[in-house]
Copies of this chain bind each other. A is one copy, B any other.
Amino acid sequence: MVTDSNNHKFFMQLAIDAAWENQLLAYPNPAVGAIVVEDGRILSIEVHKKAGSSHAEVMALVSAYETKSGKEVDFDKNDSFASHEFLRSFPKDFFSKCSIYVTLEPCSHIGKTPPCASLLGDLNIKNVYIACKDPVAKHSGGEEYLTNLGINVKCGILEHEAKELLEPFTVWQNRAFVVFKLAQSLNGRIGGKNISSLTSRTHMHSIRSVCSKLLIGGSTVRIDRPTLDSRLVKGKAPDVFIYSKDEKEIDRNIPLFNIENRSVEIGDNLDFLNLPSLVMVEGGAGMLEALKDKIDWLLVYQAPTLSANKLSYNADLRLKTLHIDKKEEDIIIWSKKI
């Protein structure tokens, strides 16, 4: 591959890949990645970590400062106000040769954090490359704001890939975004404890800790007697909805009932999926079949084993792979139903 400093797709792909690492975890905010480049040299690659903390652009600018200066900042980059204040204290030309690549249009409104578009304008940044516009009307306007300041703005680089990355955010504006999680071996066997690695389970706990509700099949609850908390990330245990026609069949001594600050509902009315939210589904083949029409994405943790003992599962679903990631032993496969 011949590369050049206009190799926008190369840089944007790095930002998109970084954002995938944090997919769902900033709920209710979107997964966003940003990278800062100066004279073709990558100064930083960052993502927006969680709602309320610094946006990806701000993280990337502070890290770019660290790379350029060789000095570490003495505050938490995730602290949006401290980061904005720090960046605004720079001489006007500090970032004037820099380009920023960001997977989502910089925000133009004051939310929990100050607007990124005005920060980029004040820093006199040279180029702003955007993958896709903000689908939420009240957030958008960043592109126009920056263009009006005379900054070179280019929108639409890897737009399709960025829209896929953004899909959960777009969906949960209006209804539940539903992710079905499966842990399996390479030959598609499920069930039993700890098929997947500690790294995978930790990742899964981090999603549990931010999701609105965990939806699980009654038979899985009865057989596995799970706890369904987020202990591996010391996070909040998710509220649980047990999908079962018969409430009496569920033994209240199952550990998931003994978690503080968690609500547990049992029933077969899934109307809550109409509410804007993030819902993770855990269960086996039966649950997959039952929820087939409600699922947006599948999240598969695939262990590098061929196993003869575990259960195989049946389903007829066509998917599109969105992103894959090798996380130590396992691979993580994000796909959407098509």
Contact = CB atoms under 8 A, between A and B. Distances in A.
Given A39-B39, A186-B335, A335-B186, A321 B326 contact: yes
A116 interface: no
A288 B306 CA distance: 11
A319 B331 contact: no
Nearest to A332: B324
A312 B315 contact: no
A113 interface: no
A331 B321 contact: yes
A5 interface: yes
Nearest to A323: B326
Interface string A294-338: 000010100011111100111111111101101001110101000
**How big is chain A's contact interface, by range?**
35 or more
Contacts of A324: 324, 326, 331
Contacts of A66: 2
A319 B300 contact: no
A335 B46 contact: no
A73 B306 CA distance: 48
A320 B313 contact: no
A45 interface: yes
B188 A187 contact: yes
B305 A42 contact: no
A195 B66 CA distance: 49
Copies of this chain present: 2
A132 B263 CA distance: 54
Contact of A67 (B2, B46, B184, B314): B2
A124 interface: no
A44 interface: yes
A3 B67 contact: yes
Contacts of A306: 288, 313-317, 319
A41 B41 contact: yes
Contacts of A235: none
A333 B325 CA distance: 11
Contacts of A312: 187-188, 312
A22 to B, nearest CB: 13
Interface in A128-176: none
Interface in A1-58: 1-5, 10, 18, 39-46
A186 B41 contact: no
A189 interface: yes
Contacts of A319: 186, 304-306
B313 A187 contact: yes
A103 interface: no
A317 B10 CA distance: 37
12 contacts: A1-B44, A2-B44, A41-B41, A185-B188, A186-B298, A186-B319, A186-B335, A187-B314, A304-B318, A306-B315, A306-B316, A321-B326
Given A1-B44, A306-B317, A323-B326, 10 more contacts: A10-B42, A186-B188, A186-B298, A187-B312, A187-B314, A188-B188, A306-B314, A308-B315, A320-B329, A331-B331
